[in-house]
Amino acid sequence: MPIALIRHALFAPKRPRRHLPAPTELKRSYDVVIVGGGGHGLAAAYYLARYHGIRRVAVLEKGYLASGNTARNTAVVRANYVTPGSVRFYAESVKLFENLSAELDFNILFSQRGQLTLAHTDAAMRGFRLRAEVNRRCGVESVMIGSGEIAKLVPTLNLVPAERYPVLGGLWHPPGGIVRHDAVAWGYARRAAERGVEIHQRTEVTAVHVDNGRVVAVQTNRGRVACGAVVQAVAGSSSLVAALAGLRLPIVTYPLQAMVTQPLKPFVDPLVSSPQFHVYISQTPRGDVVIGGGSDPYPLYGTRATLDLKESLIQHTIELFPCLAGAKLLRQWAGIADMTPDYSPIMGKTEVAGYYLDAGWGTWGFKATPICGKAMAELVATNETPGLIGAFGVDRFRTFRLVNEMGATAASH
């Protein structure tokens, strides 16, 4: 038997190294409580500890880390939105993603293979031209391309799908890509914990105590925790948790489904999305094809996968990629998406002093994880709203200054 094996059997540590410190007792008070241990909450905790020196922070998660939408999403990262404010915001996030593996010393497998949104009608072509122009003016690479260039980029794409909706052109966004989503959550969690942040899983916030217009504590299934500030980052439960603080949000909640095939030989490099067909796909480095679409048509708090959606996603995927007709589906799942009227998020202060919202992320919030965490940390540390998120306050629904991103969100996520 090789010596190295014997040495390993005798002397190697018996237990694998923990990625996170062992859970501690929940303290009676913290400077900041973050409700929600998804990517957003963990990122905010990390930036607070690393860049603002605020370390008496507790992340309270009712399930386990990233058990919400963070590890259910299809991991699309892009910045080709419609309004200049959104384009700049998401472009900052793409930049942070580009450096995130180094920042966290944790490989998040960011693969920038470009994102292509297909136009099947003249109206879509007009809309995409506008987007390309806004993107260009904001310094984001996005160009209109014709069907000839699309054929070169994606040779397996059917350019005349069922002759219903021929591909007229597309919006080509080279910086777009996919990321290993659970690695993002774990990377932030690990580095935040190293800096003293406490991460408490299976700890549900059940009430929020407000005194004289200011948040003073949260009630959990493990007792009361006093705090100076609360960041609410609970994605699909935003309205429910905000209601605990007496806040009413303009949010309607829908299930959002996705599915994945068996691993296949590489057949498509860029991410391809078709708003007309309500479908988008990407092929992971492992070869699986991840397929997603729009949210379910009825509001619901549920994560049931449905046959209806499976049928429509498969039909449209095969129209675009006939070569997938024989592929086997491995899994189908759902998350819960909090949709705002203008398809943009809500970030910022509320009428309860010290209670900050990171909500309304609908079908598109994963790509904002780094920049949202960074901006929320700055907001909590300074109580000043960073310019980059100024347009996304909840007040906009009272003052009718909406940030309409419906056209750029649709089925592209």
Ligand X SMILES: Cc1cc2nc3c(=O)[nH]c(=O)nc-3n(C[C@H](O)[C@H](O)[C@H](O)COP(=O)(O)OP(=O)(O)OC[C@H]3O[C@@H](n4cnc5c(N)ncnc54)[C@H](O)[C@@H]3O)c2cc1C
Q: Which is nearer to ligand X, 69 or 340 (CB)?
A: 69
273 phi/psi in degrees, rounded to 5? -135, 145
Residue 62 within binding range of ligand X, rule CB under 6 A: yes
Residue 361 found at the interface with ligand X (CB under 6 A): yes
Tokens representing 316 are 């449209």
Minimal CA–CA distance to 25: which of 223, 205, 191? 223
Binding residues among 316-335 for ligand X as defined by CB under 6 A: 335
Smallest gap from Cβ 293 to ligand X, in A, equals: 9
Check residue 363 for interaction with ligand X (CB under 6 A). Answer: yes
Contact between 348 and ligand X per CB under 6 A: no
> Shortest gap between Cβ of 136 and ligand X (angstroms)?
22
Residues 6 or more apart from 346 whose CB is under 8 A from it? 238, 249, 251, 340, 357, 358, 359, 360, 392, 393, 394
**Which 3 state secondary structure label does DSSP give 400?**
coil
Residue whose CB is less far from ligand X, 61 or 378: 61
Distance between CA atoms of 152 and 148, rounded to whole angstroms?
A: 7
Q: Does 205 bind ligand X (CB under 6 A)?
A: yes
Residue 220 phi, psi (nearest 5): -130, 170
Q: Are 205 and 35 in contact (CB under 8 A)?
A: yes
170 binds ligand X (CB under 6 A): no
Question: Where is 136: in which H helix or E strand?
Answer: helix 122-137
Binding test (CB under 6 A) with ligand X, winner from 32, 48, 68, 283: 68
In one-letter notation, the amino acid at residue 71 is A
Shortest distance, CB of residue 185 to ligand X, whole angstroms? 7
Residue number, 75 or 104, with CB nearest to ligand X: 75
Nearer to ligand X, 257 or 340 (CB): 257
Contact between 360 and 251 (Cβ < 8 Å): yes
- The 3-state DSSP class for residue 282 equals strand
Is 37 an interacting residue with respect to ligand X (CB under 6 A)? yes
Is residue 161 near ligand X by the rule CB under 6 A? Answer: no
Site for ligand X in 364-403 (CB under 6 A): 364-367
Stretch that binds ligand X, among 14-22, 38-46, 115-123, 131-139 (CB under 6 A): 38-46
255 neighbors 305 (Cβ within 8 angstroms): no
Nearest one of 207, 215, 234 to 41, comparing CA atoms: 234
Longest dimension (CA), the chain: 75
| H or E segment to which residue 60 belongs | strand 57-60
Pick between residue 126 and residue 304 the one whose CB is nearest to ligand X. 304
Least gap, CB of 64 to ligand X (angstroms): 8
Nearer to ligand X, 119 or 233 (CB): 233
Asked if 241 touches ligand X (CB under 6 A), the answer is: yes
Q: How far apart are CA 76 and CA 246, in angstroms?
A: 34
Which of 41, 85, 275, 360 lies at the binding interface for ligand X (CB under 6 A)?
41
Q: Does 32 bind ligand X (CB under 6 A)?
A: no
30 is a site residue for ligand X (CB under 6 A): no
Does 187 engage in binding with ligand X (CB under 6 A)? Answer: no
Instruction: Tell me if 204 contacts ligand X by CB under 6 A.
Output: yes
For residue 328, the 8-state DSSP code is P
In whole angstroms, the minimum distance from the beta carbon of 388 to ligand X comes to 17
Q: In this structure, what token pair is assigned to residue 153?
A: 């980029």
Binding site for ligand X (CB under 6 A): 35-41, 60-63, 66-70, 72-76, 204-205, 233-237, 241, 256-258, 292, 335, 337, 361, 363-367, 413
